[in-house]
Each structure stands twice: as structure tokens, then as C-alpha cells.
Amino acid sequence: MPDRSTPPTLYRLRRWSAAMSPFVVATLTGRRGRRLRQIRRETRIVDTAGIDELTAVEINGARQWLRIRGVNVANPVLLYLHGGPGGTSLPFRRDIAAWERHFTVVHWEQRGAGKSYSSRIDPRTLTLEQMVLDTEAIIDWVLNRLGQNQLVLLGHSWGSFLAAHVLKKGHPGVAVYVGSGQVGDMVASERMFFEFALEQARVRDDARALADLEAIGAYPTGTRRDHRHRNKVRGWARHFGWSGGKDPVGGRNRAALMATEEYSLRDIYGYLKGTLFVQPLVDVLFDPERQPMTVANEIPVPMVLLSGAKDSFTATPVAEAFFDAVRAPSKQHIVYPEAGHWPMIDEAEAYLDALLTHVRPHVV
């Protein structure tokens, strides 16, 4: 068992490291190599008008990686801002591969995350201000590379928080915004999970849950103290039914990492280290003064929110309140009743249909 003072992610990283004996590495490399070759054959883009690139660019002093795929470079561009912080979208790229028929999809591994992790990055640059500047620079680079004037900006979870601050400043290269796992106010979201779990524990007379939750006391407080309790609170909320969808974490996440053709075993190790490295951004995500509800009450482009009703990471009622408060040229909110935090995976066909119906016309 891990020492209670050891962060869970660090403990998992140490276990992964300990497992990497020469024999295990050789076995994994052989089996994984065969699987990755099969994936490459199955997902290869053969259209002559298409694009399939994995490239690194220097952005504001840090080497950052992008995966660009689509069957026709004339299609609208969609830039995916991943969640986390540090939870990159590349391991789940194949879950949304159908988008590539209609968009040129760009997965960006943000500063310090995934393949963009490097011990040479100054941790003092892990600030919201720097991440906004990085996003703006990536938008410019992508549009220049693909010869287009505007793109779809899709923010998921932490990516939606980051997108709100980019949209607040405004960028001429953004035609329309799509939010999923939308952050409206993380403190309010956590309060909702806590109150739900506590009420259910009392109604069901669940002594263990009551003891766990009442021992926490005031929650959330909007301070680092909350980090110690967040997984427990969300865990009880999920236990009592506030969860749904194909939550791609835990074992599914590890399997996805091993089947990510863009990652070497060293990259996987870097991915895990990156989730620790970007922890300063978690503090930003829960800063009461920087919540989208507070800072981004007006955006200059159409907004489409696509949410899972059973999202147990970012409470959808709070996203709905954000939606109601925001002024935009046009806005729409679609909620999928049985989906969770990843509606693009849980409701893949309906989600793509929404992109084609409500988003793509804004960039054609």
C-alpha cells in the first residue's frame, strides 16, 4: 500500500517504473509493436487530399507536439484543447476518428503534457497566462500550416476553462466555440457533488459514507485543502448515481496509452510524469477568481455546449448556469441524458451529428 503522504499519481508512476524490468520491456515492446503496426494499417489516411502529421513546434520557448489528421485539408479545422490539466486527447484519438471525414482534427499536447513533457520546461511557466499565450500561438501556427483563416475551438474539461480565457481576450482565428465537460465554476461544481453525496448518504443511512463526508467538514473552501478530499467526494457522488458513460480512466486509460501509436514507451512514462508536472495548473483550475462564470460572461463567437447529464467531473447544472449567463452571437446547449464527462465517446454518433449540424456551418 502507498504511504498516505504519497500522491496517488506519483505512487502509480513508481509502480510503473518498478515494473519496467528488461524482460517486461522486451515483451511489451514486441507485442505493442505488432499492435501498433496493425493500428497504423487500419487508420492510415489514403486520400491524396488528406493529411496525417505528427509534428513538434517551438511555441513560446517550449517544444510542443501536434497530431493533425483529416481526409481533406480543405475541410474546416477543429483544434481540440484537451483536459486534465495533463490529460491529453491522443490516447482517445481513435474514439473520435469519424470526425476526420468532416474536419481536419488537430490534437495539441499542451505545455508539459504527453509528448510535450520535458524536464527542461521551467515550472514557473505553468501559469494560466502562459497557457493562453501558447493557445493563441498554436491557433496561429495551425491556421498558417493549413492555409485557413478560422477554426473550430473545442475545449474539453480543463480545455474548456482554458478556452474561456482565450475567448475572453478574443482571437480572430476562432470562428465558433464548442465546450464539453464545460467548466463554469469548479468550486460550485464541487459543492454540488458534496451536497448530493451527503444528502444521499443521509437518506440511505449509509454510515460509512456519512462518516467520510462529515469528517471533511466545510467543502469546498476554494483552497489547496480541497485537493485532499476531491476524489473522496466525487467517489461517493458516483457511488450514489452521479456518474455515467464510458469514463476513460483507470484501466481503460492504461490500455489506451499502450495502444497510442504516437507514443513510445518513453513517451508513456513522460505522460505519467507530465500529469504530476502540470499540477500547478490544477490550482488555477480551482481558483475562485478565475472561473469562466466570473471572467467570460461575454464571448465574440457562436457557442455550442455538448454535455453529459451524468458528468461527475464538471457538474452539468453548473455548465447550464454558465451557458445561461454568457452573451454570445448565438448559443446552444445539448445535454445527453446517459453520457458522462466524455460525451464525444459516450454518444459518438449524436455528438458528431451535432458538430455537423450546429458547428460546421460556422466555418464553411
CB of 105 within 8 A of CB of 43?
no
Tell me: pLDDT of 31 over 90.
no
Tell me: pLDDT of 195 over 50.
yes
CB proximity list for 286: less than 8 A, separation 6 or greater:
186, 187, 190, 220, 222, 226, 227
Nearest to 132 by CA among 305, 6, 283, 284: 284
CB of 131 within 8 A of CB of 110?
yes
Tell me: pLDDT of 325 over 80.
yes
What CATH code is assigned to 45-187+244-362? Answer: 3.40.50.1820
Domain chopping of the chain, boundaries: 45-187+244-362
> What percent of the chain is modeled with pLDDT above 70?
90
Q: Give me the pLDDT at residue 159, please.
A: 98
Q: Give me the pLDDT at residue 43, please.
A: 84
Copy the grid coordinates of residue 113.
503534457
Q: By mean pLDDT, which of 18-22, 108-112, 333-337 is the weakest?
A: 18-22
Tell me: pLDDT of 18 over 90.
no
Q: Give me the pLDDT at residue 345, please.
A: 93
State mean pLDDT over 29-42: 82
CB proximity list for 263: less than 8 A, separation 6 or greater:
90, 91, 114, 115, 257, 271
Query: Could you give the C-alpha distances from 244 to 240, 309, 334, in angstroms and in order?
Result: 11, 8, 16
Task: Report pTM.
Answer: 0.90
d(CA 27, CA 183): 41
Tell me: pLDDT of 3 over 50.
no
Q: Give me the pLDDT at residue 258, please.
A: 86
Identify the sign of the CA torsion 206, 211, 212, 218: positive
Tell me: pLDDT of 25 over 70.
no
Total Cβ atoms within 10 A of residue 349:
8
Q: What region, left, alpha or beta, does residue 250 occupy, with left being phi > 0 and alpha being psi -120 to 50 degrees?
A: left
Tell me: pLDDT of 334 over 60.
yes
State mean pLDDT over 153-175: 97
Tens of pLDDT, residues 292-322:
999 988 999 999 999 999 999 999 999 999 9
Tens of pLDDT, residues 89-117:
999 999 999 999 999 999 999 999 999 99
Strand order in the sheet with 77-81: 51-59, 62-70, 104-109, 77-81, 151-156, 174-180, 303-308, 331-336
State mean pLDDT over 233-243: 93
CB of 326 within 8 A of CB of 300?
no
**CA distance from start to end of the chain:** 54
Tell me: pLDDT of 348 over 70.
yes
> What percent of the chain is modeled with pLDDT above 90?
77
Q: Give me the pLDDT at residue 257, please.
A: 86
Total Cβ atoms within 10 A of residue 120:
8
d(CA 101, CA 360): 12
Tell me: pLDDT of 271 over 70.
yes
CB of 284 within 8 A of CB of 127?
yes
State mean pLDDT over 159-186: 97
Query: Could you give the C-alpha distances from 164 to 79, 89, 294, 300, 359, in angstroms and in order?
Result: 14, 19, 10, 11, 17
Q: What residue type is 92 in one-letter code?
A: F
Copy the grid coordinates of residue 197.
453525496
Tell me: pLDDT of 119 over 70.
yes
Query: Scanning the structure block, which residue is given the C-alpha cell 496493425?
Result: 38
Q: Give me the pLDDT at residue 259, please.
A: 87
Backbone angles phi, psi at 227, to 5 degrees: -60, -30
Band the pLDDT of 24: cuts 50, 70, 90.
low
Average pLDDT, the chain: 90
Q: Give me the pLDDT at residue 84, please.
A: 92
